[in-house]
């Protein structure tokens, strides 16, 4: 029987009334490394950092935030350095790169020095809210899942603030990947995910994509390796500050990557 198993939690906030400390496991020695890729996120970074620190602190969880900035012209790295002074080098780790080298390779770069046994991948622009993280962790513990992925496209999830064109792009990207590759996950292009570090390492080593298509390929590889994947509904709210970096190049890269996977996997 395949170990690939998808389970859906009806409501990510349903656990809100439970005991807070260590997410019900007082003796837990888990550490969570959050990978935050940034490109021109100067205005968002302090807010997301504050909310992440608050979430982990309130639940008594050990964490680090790894910021992978690609030499953003808006001075994001300077802001990150200030945050490091405030929160400490044990909580904020800087892994800058010389230029904009793409989202997929940013994760590969970020994971290299991660000290947590779990890795959380999310956007830095507040579209992924840190308050959902406890639901990811609880879900992971339910059956010791290898991966927990946030989904916008199931009951309880959703997208707010996108225009029709962007909604169709996202739905289309998911539909065509599901049609061709059937990885069995309802949101293939979303990037709010929790991985066991060893699992992420193995999947990353097998992954060839460099840009946004990376997220989708990761789920295809997870299926290939028979890892267990659980889903948690999330609400994606479009950014307030700054702009999306998803352009025509990324869409073309997605289609190319999809075709490569279809013909090789």
With H, G, I as helix, E, B as strand and everything else as coil, classify residue 34.
strand
> Of ligand GDD, Mg ion, none, which one sits near residue 34, judging by CB under 5 to 8 A according to partner kind?
none
SS3 sequence, 122-139? CCCCCCCCHHHHHHHHHH
x/- mask, ligand GDD, residues 167-186, rule CB under 6 A, reads: ---x----------------
- Within residues 128-167, the interface with ligand GDD by CB under 6 A covers none
- Of the residues 246, 255, 260, 262, which one makes contact with ligand GDD according to CB under 6 A: 246
Stretch in the footprint of Mg ion (CB under 5 A) among 28-36, 117-125, 149-157, 160-168:
117-125
Does residue number 106 form part of the binding site for ligand GDD (CB under 6 A)? yes
Determine how β-strand 118-121 pairs with β-strand 193-196. Answer: antiparallel
- Of the residues 154, 191, 207, 209, which one makes contact with ligand GDD according to CB under 6 A: 191
Q: State how far the Cα of 116 lies from the Cα of 253, in Å rounded to an integer.
A: 31
Q: State how far the Cα of 173 lies from the Cα of 108, in Å rounded to an integer.
A: 23
Q: Which is nearer to ligand GDD, 23 or 84 (CB)?
A: 84
> Of Mg ion, ligand GDD, none, which one sits near residue 145, judging by CB under 5 to 8 A according to partner kind?
none
With H, G, I as helix, E, B as strand and everything else as coil, classify residue 235.
strand
Distances (CA, A) of 178 to 47, 104, 172, 184, 232: 34, 20, 10, 7, 18
CA 64, 92, 39, 124 torsion: positive or negative? positive
Q: State how far the Cα of 231 lies from the Cα of 150, in Å rounded to an integer.
A: 6
- Of the residues 41, 64, 125, 187, which one makes contact with Mg ion according to CB under 5 A: 125
Does residue number 41 form part of the binding site for Mg ion (CB under 5 A)? no
Q: State how far the Cα of 78 lies from the Cα of 100, in Å rounded to an integer.
A: 16
Q: Which is nearer to Mg ion, 123 or 146 (CB)?
A: 123
Q: Kindly state the smallest distance separating residue 123's Cβ from Mg ion, in Å.
A: 5
Does residue number 255 form part of the binding site for ligand GDD (CB under 6 A)? no
Distances (CA, A) of 88 to 66, 82, 139, 180: 12, 10, 29, 46
- Of the residues 189, 207, 228, 235, which one makes contact with ligand GDD according to CB under 6 A: 189
Q: Which is nearer to Mg ion, 55 or 127 (CB)?
A: 127
Given the rule CB under 5 A, which residues bind Mg ion?
123, 125, 127, 239
Given the rule CB under 6 A, which residues bind ligand GDD?
37-39, 41, 68-70, 100, 102-103, 106, 123-125, 127, 170, 189-191, 212, 215, 236, 239, 244-246
């Amino acid at each position: 029987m395949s170990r690939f198993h998808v389970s859906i939690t009806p409501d990510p906030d349903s656990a809100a009334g439970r005991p807070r400390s260590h997410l019900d496991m007082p003796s837990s020695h888990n550490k969570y490394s959050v990978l935050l890729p940034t490109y021109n996120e100067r205005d968002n970074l302090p807010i997301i950092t504050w909310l992440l620190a608050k979430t982990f602190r309130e639940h008594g969880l050990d964490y680090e935030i790894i910021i992978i900035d690609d030499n953003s012209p808006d001075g994001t790295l300077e802001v990150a350095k200030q945050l490091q002074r405030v929160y400490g080098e044990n909580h904020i780790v800087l892994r800058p790169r010389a230029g904009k080298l793409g989202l997929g390779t940013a994760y590969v770069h970020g994971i290299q020095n991660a000290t947590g046994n779990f890795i959380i991948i999310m956007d830095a622009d507040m579209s992924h809210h840190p308050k959902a993280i406890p639901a990811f962790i609880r879900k992971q513990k339910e059956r010791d899942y290898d991966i927990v992925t946030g989904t916008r496209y199931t009951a309880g999830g959703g997208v707010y603030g996108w225009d029709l064109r962007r909604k169709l792009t996202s739905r289309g990207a998911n539909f065509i990947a599901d049609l061709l590759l059937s990885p069995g996950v309802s949101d293939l292009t979303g990037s709010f995910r929790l991985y066991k570090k060893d699992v992420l390492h193995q999947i990353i080593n097998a992954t060839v994509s460099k840009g946004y298509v990376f997220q989708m390929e990761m789920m295809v590889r997870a299926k290939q390796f028979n890892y267990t994947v659980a889903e948690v509904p999330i609400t994606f709210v479009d950014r307030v500050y700054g702009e999306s970096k998803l352009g025509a190049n990324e869409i073309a890269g997605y289609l190319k990557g999809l075709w490569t996977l279809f013909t090789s996997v």
